[in-house]
Structure 1
């Protein structure tokens, strides 16, 4: 490290070192401003802004390097090979563009590491290829400092790209800029400290730039970058003006419409009308630039994708995720601006119609059934359960206790069947109420494990709970979510013998997944297709061998959809099954008090 500081202070013009640092700061500040503009641009225009960011960052880094080379004074005449100098500039610009392109694909851990490594490789290539273009010298390298320069630069750029999405406010932006500038400066001056030079009397002076010509090349390069930035800025302003004019026309029409209207591309929302905000319960500012899929229930996405691709016709009935729960809608969508990939979509609220249709279908078949079942079966069943428990506890004769236990198990089975039928009837009639609150997934998984461990052990199974670190609470009906988990875990214990049942909870950007995996008998694709039909199991042989009503999975699926989620199944014969409860990210402000969600 002392060798690096000695090189900077003893062999450099410190005034020009300061100029190089200033060039680096200004160029990266401009590049980060361009990246901010790219975040809100449409998909096609975003590519142009990323290219401009690459020109600003790469070109500025190249200028920083060669201004610092002008500051380098090893007491001998230096020349610069023209072709190698141009190649180093191309590497700087294209490499920075590539790093920004990687980073633009969502800055999770892996893209941030990849983008940081790509930017470090770019600056490393620029520096050492640029140094290879210095002529009239003989070089001797300290490899430990070369390795150190690459490692320091890579670490700095990975930190910078990790902060890129997280940096908020002036302080965050300053730290972000310092990370990028630090990566450039650290690599350059550590690399310079690794170099020892001596005059080369046999050097070829053809196509060589002297210091003055290099300074002119830097000025020309800076002017080219400014020109490119000005052209891009002009084009963007013109496109923005055209887009604004078109949006104003759409807004005037949208404000007069009775349907919800939104303007969007394939990834995010750009504008909405008042009716759409009222439909979902959000303010316009909550929806602008929101990812489009955050507003669509998972089970509705395939139908909308098919309609977009022309595989089915509009209108499409779908479920949107509003602030206070799911909303049934009818969707029409049309291409609005092909050049920018913009669509205009009209949304009509059909919640009342769909509730009425379901209620009418359910009422005819179940009104009389529910009236009789509720009183006529519950009362005698509770009496049977009570007397069976009493006999089982107080009888001194073993055969009598065994008979009482058989009666108790049968009565509880009938009561469970009755409760499942009543739950299904409420869901189909649209009268099931969901009490939305914060749910602690870790505690819930532990409760389910404690409840089901004895049931699993009875068939020789091991029950395992796997929780991802840092689980956050979710907004859902805790009682009903636990009911879904118990249904799936009970099924896993029923169809698995001497195996392993795993309850795994993990969270990612946009959703929470609770997976129940068993090593049991598994299912064919045909059996999976019949799973969620009421009163139906995979096939008749399953019912004969394992029993069951065929209602648990149907209820689980419908309860999950009421909470804006879905149930997914992966299974293969003889290889077990995985049932996953998928809960999408809920909008901020979802009630912490009871909210009624109709099916």
Structure 2
């Protein structure tokens, strides 16, 4: 039903001849525009009153804007209705009262939005466009609601295009009307504000009228006029009545707003007077008001305090009563201005002397202000008691003398110099005479004859100048030591510390402040300490050389002792003899390990250890170490876990022997100090570095001994040596080797829960030799085949024979029945040409352990190797 009605409302008639076109009465059209302009002007005046109201008058501001919206809304509605009356269709037109009154509401809403936006101090694009849309929609709704109130013999329809155009025009003109007040701000300096207001009101009024008559152009009156229809004659009178009523309402609203504004101004004036009186009463400065004759009219509380007069005693009397030097005042002071042209009065304060009631002289600072009233000139005197300030200035002068005395007695020199190196100092303390033998007057003042830079030794001058230049360029402090020539011809060492100083008002460097201390005695002491250090280092080097030589000499006969005890242990002995020889052999091995550790430490201290870098397989090395120490771990009921990161290259470039020594020491310590649980060896890559981590579940290390654990002959506790054995050199050697390889080592621990040793080394990956180009073989001859312990070339490697021998020897090894003959047979039968590389390296490790008489290590490596061989499938 509604859709059918809308289609009918916007559909053209079938017969175009049925469309009736009316005419406009020019006087009424002009009257409608004038009403719109008048209402807009009144609304702008109300906005001005509301905008001038203070923040305390927020309620008043809302009332003013609301009343202005009522006036503008009535004016817009009156303009619309007068415009409707100006349209003549040669037939009688009536209006439905309810719908006509209803059309007032959109007009009021649009007016409220318009005044709310216009009253802003700033207007941005988003509020302007939103307000224009709302105002245009409101006025359009008012117009078409008013059109719907028409009652006539013709049918009312609308042209869709003109209807849409009227809405667009309404929004655009509404936006223009809202913007015009802000757009004319740039003309405030050239046009009077009333002219600007009239222009703004004219644009708004024309915009409102334009929206109405564009909407009227969209209307189509369809039907046939009855015969004898005549134009209606009552429109002019009704229009005049509406105009008068609108003007009356608008003037009433304007008058009411004017009264409200007057009340607010009166309140502000009363508050301003109260504020001014409170200010004059409570201000620290004295305020005295006089006329041109010098008669006192006002005298505030602070003036009473300064001069000792009360207001009642002094008001009406002459200002000369308070002046200590009237002649000077008449010649160049206040009285001169009172008797002359007030325009020459200066408001700049000056210091003068005043007289108290008791005759005492009081120093004051006087500033004068001039106010021209309708009947007379008044002068306001602002008086500040500067007695305390003068006392402060005197105290500052005394403090300056004290500071100068203090600077003159400190053990050193204070100075201030300009940016130029060779320029004389701006200030230098008297201590310069004690340091150089020349008085301070030789360096500063009009009679200066020397420069501080001229006393610097020629060899040091360029370095000092460069250091100061870098400090100035970097805006940073500097410290420099140099030599100067004393007046007696001797040399003094001095230490200078200075910094650039900026101006508080400008970012420019204005000077350098600093101190100079005599460090001649300290320099002599440093030279003596340096000599003592060199002597101590020579003694340490001699000690290290002695320890290394003695360790080597002791190890030679000790190897013979270990060898012969091993030979005796392989013979037929009774239980007592075997036990005694075993004790000797075990003690000899412990002493050998101690000597090896001492020797390695001595070599590292002397820097005699050089790295032999080559390509090696880290994964196999870690696997071999886990197998080597696996026997010791299993004997204690421990498990060794290996965690090798798959992303870490297997082949690396470095010193394989030192890497084996570092990891072996850490794993050996972890097994030694762990009674139950697991030892974990982890390897991974991190940001271009190799990270080795050895974690155990042992006794742990106290936090206060974590750093000392890497010192020589140091363990986690003094009782550890007695309980677990060892010398404490393993971690020391590991730290020295890691440092030599360009890495670092540290430990973390929780007592009772275990320890973690971290090693971080530079990661240098190498290519797998099995995947290198075949042409690489041309670079040199193939390595010689491995040899047995006897030195003869082994036979070809036989995997089946190796497995059989491993199965035969493994039980004997576990029972401790494997002797030297069995080891020789093993070397001859298991090795061979074409043997796997891992097996060859394990045999080499066993041979090295035997050569060092480290049988436990040899047996552990051998056991792991045999177990691996025996478990291989045919």
Structure number with bigger Rg: 2
Instruction: Give me the TM-score of the superposition, normalised by structure 2.
Output: 0.30
Instruction: Give me the TM-score of the superposition, normalised by structure 1.
Output: 0.42
